[in-house]
Chains A and B, each alone.
Chain A
Amino acid sequence: MTAKVVKLAQPGFDVKTAGDENLIYNSNWPLLKIFHSDSYSTSNVSSSLTIFNHNLGYPPMFWVYTNEPINSWNFSQTTPRDTRAEFLGISAALGFISVDKDNLYLVSSATSTFNLNVSFQYYIFALDLSQQFTAPIIKTGAIGGKRGNTVFKLAKEGKDISSQSLEDFAVHSDARSPLIHSVNVGLINESLGSGYAFTVHHNLGYIPMFFGYSTTSAGRYVIRAAGGGGGTNFITADAEKIQWKDTIVGTVPQTIVILKDPFMVDYSVRVSI
């Protein structure tokens, strides 16, 4: 018997021929689903804090948007908040915001250089960072056509289906939502001769979008921030694989969450300095 599949294509794509990355959803893999979102702000991080008890029983994928002024990057902000949202920001990039199977934490730094002003918006998703998952690859690389006028939408509880605001919907076919291709858990322990790697063969045929999460010695998960131009811990990606590399062998698990969403898209701009 053929397995039954529920799927919805993005406008302009035929659901029978659309590539996996061109779907609004497919019942073979999950959308990124928001379990909980809230904001937090303080002008005095004097101790380690539990920000939210999610109680999911597994370490969930999470995102952080800092509202701190951009000069927090050189520890010189004097206020916790600015009217802006930056993915990670210095507090998350330095690993001060973390999750485990029970809570979201803000950990104060032991160093005197860390600014005590912290403000952020956080999103906790219903996706287990400790559980391996790989979606099938059914078809990729379809080419879209003309958009129709039909719209599929699911309003959030308490919101009107006729709302013109995208944020009032759980799913809306005029919008795409991140599609989970895989969750990969492993150690950076594959010898490369001049270092070590954690290699994930995604085999999508294109470079996908992805997110890295590191496990701390305390068993918490932090979002991996990128540094380069000579760093020793970095990630490379191509159309077949993603490699998380380091000069020393890893002893704690890392997680790479790969989206179906491709890196390349047809709209681009060029900026020269």
Chain B
Amino acid sequence: MSQVFKITLPNNDVRTSDLKDEVLNSLAPSPKINTQASPPHVGIIFLNWASSSLVIPRGTTQVLYSFPHGYNYVPTAIAVFAFDNGVNPQNGTLPFQYGALGIITIDTDALNVNLKYFSIDLGSTIIPPFTMQVRFYVMAERGYI
């Protein structure tokens, strides 16, 4: 018989509760962000896209920032952002499509966590300057099996 450790939300009976009404349940793991990792698995990347002359050809990937995650498999990452181009500031979750020019995204591979810009530009458009704060979590859960 499976042994289960669980805690329910207030006003729920732990003997009869539904999983969604539980705080935690040892049979339903939570995504885990290692707080002991180095470099840290929680942090902010302040991206200052100051260049007012840069053109990135369609299909080109530019790695903006990368660091080793330390797992021997492909883990997962999520990132939320605060974008500001002086006209239309906004917040959300990466990936972020910058108009019809490119995608700013975060991914993981077998070694690293990467913040990338990928060009989808059909022309030769200069990328307008902007700033972006990217808050990332690297999680122990697998993203590629």
Contact = CB atoms under 8 A, between A and B. Distances in A.
A263 B7 contact: no
A34 B144 contact: no
Interface residues of B, number: 89
A236 B91 contact: yes
A74 B120 CA distance: 6
A212 interface: yes
A6 B95 contact: no
Interface in B6-38: 7-10, 18-36
Which of B2, B97, B144 lies at the interface centre, i.e. has the most chain A CB atoms within 10 A of its CB?
Answer: B144
A108 interface: no
Interface string A198-221: 000000000101111000000000
Interface majority SS (helix, strand, loop, mixed), chain B: strand
Contacts of B48: 270-273
Interface in A57-94: 58, 63, 65, 67, 70-71, 73-74, 76, 83-89, 93
A273 B51 contact: yes
Contacts of A58: 20
Contacts of B96: 226-228
Given A84-B74, A87-B95, A171 B24 contact: yes
B105 to A, nearest CB: 6
Interface stretch (A97-105, A172-180, A189-197, A246-254): A172-180
A225 B108 CA distance: 19
Nearest to A245: B90
Contacts of A169: 29, 32
Q: Which 8 residue pairs spanning A and B have beta carbons closest together?
A: A85-B143, A226-B92, A177-B30, A175-B32, A166-B140, A86-B107, A267-B43, A33-B28
Given A63-B78, A210-B93, A229-B128, 20 more contacts: A84-B108, A85-B107, A86-B106, A87-B77, A123-B31, A155-B26, A156-B26, A167-B141, A170-B30, A177-B32, A227-B98, A229-B98, A230-B99, A234-B90, A236-B89, A236-B91, A272-B48, A273-B47, A273-B54, A273-B64
Interface of B: 2, 5, 7-10, 18-36, 40, 42-51, 54, 58-59, 61, 64-65, 74-83, 85, 87-99, 101, 103, 105-110, 115-116, 118, 120, 128, 130, 133, 135, 137, 140-145
